[in-house]
Structure 1
């Protein structure tokens, strides 16, 4: 029942908002009839006032003043109260019908004005009409209590209902404002997520394309240089070039497949993201491109969170790509330092200082590339830090510190197995790289994988 009443009330309010003048005229006409009927009611044994025309005029003025309640609610209350007090002093009986214009004015005053204004004007109206009712002769011999309680009750009722209406409108406005704010916030958050995802995809594509194309270009140049003097080595480099291009195609397919993947559980799974376990393949590829890379591990290697593992590999990959593309260097060194809470990565090369600065494409020549910028963004995305710049003695150095998030105890066993499998894979790939001209060195405190320039 209450829901039906609220539905009809909402419909009436919507119609009133669309056609306010029609509602105001209908309200004034209805109150005019009510007040006219009320002015004709008298108590038994009480002589009715002989001012019928005066009462009609006063009630007419009251109802006409009510037409301006939307713009001037305070003035409307004052005018209607004065007219009603005069009517009561003339001897008209104080009834709800006679008080109907005042009650309507008080209701709209409570709706449109604040609580302080409503209390002041409402209290003044009640005092004035109660005093007029006490001094009026229209109630005959009725007690003082009956003369006061009636007007006070009938005048407090519209004030209470008006306050409830004002609070309800304020609540609905607040709910609508919150909904609009939530909608705007949701749209802004969606745009922000789209921007972040676009930047992440751009970094991934840059790392994949720039690295593999740089290696392919270096391998092709080296093979062309050795084609006459060492054809056997040239054929081997061309074989490595095939592997480089195949790896580029695989990573591009994985990246594009991630963009096309939907939430269908039957959709094919994607290949795992690369990590530091792919470092031997990266070293072998650089070796075939003419840059000997040695890898040293300090501390106890441990399983890394997927985000940290991918970031570490991409930073090393980009740094070695810059060495292959820009630096006139024959050797590069990668140092992995496992501390208690951070992974320290240092990539250096032995090129001359003037050329080494060129390895930082975004620093040496702004606008030429986004390699170092992407490394900075990757490090910051997981709470790490990165520095890149020329070394004092020549060459270029990239240093980054990435946070190591603690792994859960329940996963330590599985993580240890994964780490052992990763080390075994590193050893196996290093052995294959040794057959292709890549030397592998090991010691008790560090592991060194060095790719020799062909």
Structure 2
């Protein structure tokens, strides 16, 4: 954290951070010029002047690293040639080489670094009349290579940290996008549940209320039965709404109801309510009936519920047939009526058929709808009996939290 804070401060105060090494080098040059074999003495002006002159370009080393290397190296080599006894090490050039390596490509940094190392070694050997391969000459070569290597290592480290930070930011954005996607899917699923519950039960209540209104004067007993059906249907609607809205509760909330979501076991009660509304319904089961996955159980129930609701609302049908065919790996649900096309009588949205298709697709199944060859309308759903993570999304739990 402290290193990151120092880096941010240096980026905001670039001129100050660039000038700091120059000031340090000048102080060191003054101290070195004042030291002698017999003790301290007044600094030699030539060495201090050349050092100060070579340090001036370092003030802009971060902005123009390559030109600064060229200028500082030129000044240092000139000083080494004119005052070999006063300037022995091109310190400003070493700082410039380090900066170039941290702010440019590896090829550029090493090309310039090797050229500078060879030039410094050659000038030093020539001015001091020493072989190029002796220790003191090679030491200058090592200095230039070391400055370049250190700068290259710092640049590589910074790139690595930048990649790690970029991956972390990308992962965070991906997690946020995934969370938003799941929230959207959950909202759509709950909206489908609310649509199915409300549309079905309100349709039945409306039909039964019409029957009661028609028979109130001519047949009070049957009107009373219709009102009783209205009471039962509205109570069932409230129970299902409470269970569906309970899905929105937090795990630590105390739910008002722990009623399970409906399934094929509740199909007889559903059919009974439809029949009470005036639509004759028959149910056929083929194959070996057996337990199915919870998501398939709820989806099959909702498809039958929505299909019969659409038949009652839009098709002007008198009879509907529900078929459940248990195959080896799939459950085939077929709902057929003898009415016309399921076109809304009023300003509808068509969410019923869309919702059924989305339900089937969500668990890895299919749904087809269309006119029946023998007349009427048919809904056919192929649903998997068991779900696998690879073919189905997480199914809603049987009980809400």
The alignment's TM-score, normalised by the length of structure 2, stands at: 0.87
Superposed displacement of residue 257, structure 1: 2.1
Alignment partner of 1:13 is 2:10: no
Whole-Å separation in 2 of the counterparts to 1:94 and 1:403:
90
Q: Which has the higher contact order (CA 8 A, sep 6+)?
A: 1
CA RMSD after TM alignment:
2.6
Distance 1:308 1:43, change over 3 A: farther
Equivalent position to 1:397, from 359, 374, 378: 378
How far 1:187 sits from its partner (Å)? Answer: 2.0
| Segment of structure 1 superposing worse, 169-178 or 297-306 | 169-178
Tell me whether 1:133 sits opposite 2:133 in the alignment.
no
1:76 counterpart (51, 61, 68):
68
Match of 2:158 among 137, 149, 169: 169
Cα distance in 2, alignment partners of residues 43 and 75 from structure 1: 38
1:380 aligns with 2:356: no
Q: Report if the CA contact (8 A) 2:22-2:56 is conserved.
A: yes
**Relative to 1, partners in 2 of residues 1:195 and 1:218: Cα closer, same or farther, differing over 3 Å?**
same
Residue 268 to residue 235, structure 1, CA distance change in 2 (3 Å): closer
Change (3 A) 1:406 1:84: closer
Change (3 A) 1:326 1:268: closer
Contact 2:47 2:86 in 1 (8 A): no
Post-superposition offset of 1:110? 0.8
TM-fit CA distance, 1:306 = 0.6
Q: Are the counterparts in 1 of residues 101 and 151 from structure 2 also a CA contact under 8 Å?
A: yes
SS at match of 2:210: helix
Question: How far, CA to CA, are the matches of 1:262 and 1:380 in structure 2?
Answer: 27
Say if 2:329 is the partner of 1:341.
yes
TM-aligned CA distance change 1:86 to 1:108, over 3 Å: same
Name the residue aligned to 1:62: 54
Distance 1:345 1:267, change over 3 A: closer
Residues 8 and 19 (structure 1), Cα distance of their counterparts in 2 relative to 1, 3 Å cut: same
CA distance in 2, matches of 1:234, 1:54: 119
CA distance in 2, matches of 1:43, 1:213: 107
Answer whether contact 1:42 1:92 (CA < 8 A) is retained: no
| Counterpart mapping for 1:230-241 below 5 A | 230-241=219-230
SS at match of 1:326: helix
Q: Does the 8 Å CA contact 1:360/1:372 hold for their aligned counterparts?
A: no
Deviations 1:164-192 (A, max 9, x none): 21122112212221222222222222221
Q: Distance in 1 between matches of 2:363 and 2:347?
A: 25
Deviations 1:279-313 (A, max 9, x none): 00011001100111111111111111111110110
Residue pairs, 1:317-336, within 5 angstroms = 317-336=305-324
Name the CA distance, whole Å, in 2 between partners of 1:81 and 1:112: 18
| Equivalent position to 2:268, from 254, 261, 280 | 280
Unaligned runs of 5+ in 2: 39-43, 389-401
Residue equivalent to 1:202: 191
Matched-pair contact (CA < 8 Å) for 2:89–2:140: no
CA deviation vs aligned residue, 1:112-165 (integer Å, no higher than 9, x gap): 01110111000000000111122122xx77894213321122222222221221
1:146 aligns to what? 135
Change in 2 beyond 3 A, CA 1:277/1:360: farther
Question: In terms of mean alpha carbon deviation, does 83-92 or 296-305 score higher?
Answer: 83-92
CA contact (8 A) 2:46 2:86 kept: no
Task: Find the partner of 2:92 among 101, 116, 121.
Answer: 101
- Is 398-407 or 121-130 further displaced after alignment? 398-407
Aligned residues: 383
Q: Specify every segment of 5 or more residues in structure 1 that has no aligned partner in the other structure, as ranges.
A: 1-6, 45-51, 408-454
> Partners of 1:229 and 1:141 in 2: how far apart?
130
- Per the alignment, in what secondary structure is the counterpart of residue 134 of structure 2? helix
More off after superposition, 57-66 vs 127-136: 57-66
| Distance in 2 separating the partners of 1:347 and 1:240 | 24
